[in-house]
Amino acid sequence: MASRPAFGALTPLTLTAHGLTLRPLVASDEAAVACGMADPGVLRWAAGNAVLAAPPPDRARTWLSARLDAWAAGTAAFAVTDASDGGFLGYLGFRDVHRVPEQAVAGYWVVPAARGRSVAARALDAAAVWAFAPADKGGLGLHRIGLDHAVINPASCRAAERAGFRLEGTMRESFVQPDGTRHDSHLHARLATDLVDLG
């Protein structure tokens, strides 16, 4: 019986699929990340408390610095870029890879200028296909990838479902805004055995 991959450092790599290139984040992405961190939607849904607590000019650096070495800590942290011109479109990450055997948790955001083009769904699918592949074929050997989003963020729900992440339930009052307001969250997941067609 083959041994299961262990929780720990991951080897950074670049993926190309669906007109996108997913590559490790680099320090020179700071200006592009700043465009995302200036967007109220990204700040509300995906920035995190450390970024929100930072002065606005420092938010991109704060967010990026936590992800530049993420691969060594068990998170696959990708810049999502346009495969044709390298333009920065957003972020996709798989965290807690193998913390629970054969599982990970996805997170993502897209810059305002790239919205309406199914960027998040295409990136989720590209990364999931790689992550579900066995380790001896260059993948992560995962069986399940979960994600959650606030119910009042329907765009994230559409992206998840389009990428084959089925809605599994509602987590009551699990999303907490910085002001303490609580919202229910949808829990989605995709299994290696799910058949997905982005159409």
* Domain 15-191 in this protein, CATH class: alpha beta
- Alpha-carbon Rg for the chain, nearest whole angstrom, is 16
Q: What is the pLDDT of residues 37-78, one digit of tens each?
A: 998 888 888 888 888 888 999 999 999 998 999 999 999 999
- How many other C-beta atoms can be found within 10 angstroms of the C-beta atom of residue 172? 10
CB 28 within 8 A of CB 37: no
Locate tokens 């509602």: which residue?
A: 170
| DSSP H or E stretch at residue 162 | helix 154-162
- Nearest alpha carbon to residue 153 among 97, 198, 96, 107: 107
Q: What is the pLDDT of residues 91-136, one digit of tens each?
A: 999 999 999 999 999 999 999 988 888 999 999 999 999 999 999 9
pTM over 0.95: no
Q: What pLDDT band is residue 1 in, cutting at 50, 70 and 90?
A: very low
* Domain layout of the chain by residue ranges: 15-191
CB 175 within 8 A of CB 182: yes
CB 188 within 8 A of CB 147: yes
